[in-house]
Structure 1
Amino acid sequence: MGAPGAQPAVLAAGALIWREKHGVVQVMLVHRPRYGDWSIPKGKLEARESFPAAAVREVGEETGYRVRLHRPLPASVYLLPDGRSKIVQYWTAAVRSRIGPGPKNPKEIDETRWVELDEAAQLLTRQSDRVTLRALTDQLEEEAALTSPIIIQRHAAAVSRSKWRDGEKSRPLNSKGKKQAKALPPMLDAFAPESVVSSPWKRCRATVQPFAKRSGLDISTKEPLTEAGHTSEPSRTAAIVERVLREARPTVLCTHRPVLPTVIGTVREFATREAGLELPRENPYLAAGEALVVHAAAGGRIVAVERHQPRID
């Protein structure tokens, strides 16, 4: 909590887009005429917007590219002239498609440029941006920059067990949970999942349905992801998670709090030491509606972990 009377931090997000062309890695930088500098695409969060959704939106507005977020990069934190802190969350990113001819507002961004890593280090104006670039370079050297995001999604807030008399399978989301489910699609879409796997119970399906509908994806339901199925045969639950990790295909996997110890325990078996330390260890593991994004490199090796909540307030 900040000091009494302190102004809230300015929150922003962005991404360092990279590609390989003729065997050479290039990144995209943007020129800001107002400041006369070269920078990494980024911008402020809008009301009730998550960091991942903001990063994708801002990159699209500043470059004309729709991107998929991959591994997170170190956040940049610095003081603004008015004394407020600014926190910028960054990711590596790859182009999904063209959504425009270039920057949306030429007064903010008047030029974009693909450059090789050495040239980028020379062009970038801020030292903090060069630190971000160096982090990408390190990931490339580790051959762990282009990852598959796998999202472990706890279902959104549901009607309490004590107030529901018709059985666990049909227990629905409450009003808060419905808002969370409605807010999830932009956050999940930032990682461009290609499949959705879920417990068939109503509250799980209702959590991922808005995203699946928006993305044109079917929901593949798996009984071992239910509380009852997990209690009966936890090994089958672990097998589903292991298969998703080994396939290393961007996926949303939605389940229940009592199932999370097995799910996260299986993820931990695939995680590097550093990533394993970032995995939740204590009940409730994830809050209702919270997403645990694990980044899988080749063979399912988990090299990075992050957590995100849909913002509804």
Structure 2
Amino acid sequence: MRPEPRNVAAAGGVLWRPGPSGLEVAAVWRPDVGNWSLPKGKLEGGEPLLVAACREVEEETGVPPIPQAWLCRAEYVLPNRDGDVHKTVDFWSMRTDKPEAEFEGNEEIGSRQWIPLGEAFVRLTRPRDQLALRSFSALPRVTSTVVLVAPAETDSRDGSPALTAPLSERGRDQAVRLAGLVSLYQPDKALTATARASVQTVEPVASSLGLTVLSETAFDASSHGRNPERSVARLRRLAEESSGAVVGAEEDVIADAVAILSDEDGIGVPDVSTRPGEAWVLAFSGSRLAGAERL
């Protein structure tokens, strides 16, 4: 009797740049299997999928990526004498500010090429790469990524009002962990609701990127209830003004904003509930929502 398949998780990306005749994607040559493919690789330890995707793309291409939107999950089984391996690969759309970064080949990756998107469909023949390329092609061109961050856990033992309650020790840990993920998106603006917890949750990522945190009442629950469209309009303007931003907003504001944006722009998001310390990644094409995912 054959053993149950062993599960292996991997992650990678469709890394793109503007080319003379359209978009080009980064492909790598794998000498051991003799084919071109998208950059990807297995997770190390318990690292998050997104962290693994960015690390593997940079290791295999030499190009530092900036994630934009999750594309798809490919699943397949690799036959093995010691038991089949069930493998999953999550892919993200990724841009870069350094497309000409140097590349050094090795035994695993022999070469890197930027290939026109149409040609990539011909040269990258593996089903998982085809799935990722199709998902990328179906996605409107992402021009901005806004990360919505809910305030982490607060410490209310001293009876502080919700507006002034500080983060608990666990909340501070949540904020630091969030900063590691949010910083991958390289936001160039940091905005937050006026509540102390919202500010403290955004501060670690703003500090790591050298950003000034600006407070905006549009993301406060108290003002949002009177005019829910205000926060949505601010997010659309923000997407047009910058290539990326991190926004601290209260949970109800985030849930409503994701619901309104996804409904208006035809993006299916079945569950918009948002918990303390949770974040959403909103990918915009101009001012229009192109994708939404939990971080």
In 2, distance between residues paired with 1:114 and 1:224? 42
Cα deviation for residue 98 of structure 1 reads: 6.1
Contact 2:183 2:208 in 1 (8 A): no
In structure 2, the residue matched to 1:221 is 215
In structure 1, the residue matched to 2:294 is 307
In 2, distance between residues paired with 1:128 and 1:238? 35
Q: Which amino acid in structure 2 is aligned with residue 166 of structure 1?
A: S
Q: Which amino acid in structure 2 is aligned with residue 58 of structure 1?
A: E
Do residues 17 (structure 1) and 22 (structure 2) align?
A: no
| TM-score normalised per structure 2 | 0.86
**Residue from 232, 237, 241 that aligns with 1:243:** 237
CA 19–246 in structure 1, closer or farther in 2 if over 3 Å, else same = closer
**Residue from 31, 42, 54 that aligns with 2:40:** 42
SS of corresponding position for 1:30: strand
In structure 1, the residue matched to 2:172 is 178
Cα deviation for residue 156 of structure 1 reads: 1.8
What is the Cα-based RMSD across aligned positions, in Å? 2.7
Do residues 89 (structure 1) and 83 (structure 2) align?
A: no
Contact 1:156 1:290 in 2 (8 A): yes
In 2, distance between residues paired with 1:156 and 1:187? 15
- Which runs of structure 2 are paired with 1:157-236 in the superposition (5 Å)? 157-159=153-155, 161=156, 163-231=157-225, 234=228, 236=230
Do residues 29 (structure 1) and 30 (structure 2) align?
A: no
CA 115–216 in structure 1, closer or farther in 2 if over 3 Å, else same = same
SS of corresponding position for 2:293: strand
Q: Deviations over 1:235-266 (max 9, x none)?
A: 65454334324546411111122333443344
In 1, distance between residues paired with 2:258 and 2:96? 30
Q: Which amino acid in structure 2 is aligned with residue 304 of structure 1?
A: G
SS of corresponding position for 1:214: helix
- Which runs of structure 2 are paired with 1:29-178 in the superposition (5 Å)? 29-81=27-79, 82-97=83-98, 101-103=102-104, 106-139=106-139, 144-159=140-155, 161=156, 163-178=157-172
**Residue from 283, 290, 297 that aligns with 2:278:** 290
In 2, distance between residues paired with 1:75 and 1:95? 22
SS of corresponding position for 1:54: helix
Cα deviation for residue 215 of structure 1 reads: 0.8
| TM-score normalised per structure 1 | 0.81
Cα deviation for residue 25 of structure 1 reads: 2.8
Cα deviation for residue 173 of structure 1 reads: 2.0
For structure 1, the 5+ residue unaligned runs are: 309-313
SS of corresponding position for 2:92: strand
User: Share of identical aligned residues, percent?
Assistant: 27
Q: Which amino acid in structure 2 is aligned with residue 92 of structure 1?
A: S
Q: Which amino acid in structure 1 is aligned with residue 91 of structure 2?
A: Y
Cα deviation for residue 212 of structure 1 reads: 0.7
Aligned length: 290
Contact 2:228 2:257 in 1 (8 A): no
Cα deviation for residue 40 of structure 1 reads: 0.6
Contact 1:294 1:306 in 2 (8 A): yes
In structure 2, the residue matched to 1:267 is 261
In 2, distance between residues paired with 1:120 and 1:184? 34
Cα deviation for residue 269 of structure 1 reads: 5.3
For structure 2, the 5+ residue unaligned runs are: none
Contact 2:28 2:111 in 1 (8 A): yes
Q: Deviations over 1:129-180 (max 9, x none)?
A: 12222332333xxxx1233111111122223x4x341222331222332222
In 2, distance between residues paired with 1:231 and 1:56? 38
SS of corresponding position for 1:217: coil
In 2, distance between residues paired with 1:291 and 1:8? 31
Contact 1:33 1:110 in 2 (8 A): yes
Q: Which amino acid in structure 1 is aligned with residue 95 of structure 2?
A: A
Q: Which amino acid in structure 2 is aligned with residue 146 of structure 1?
A: V
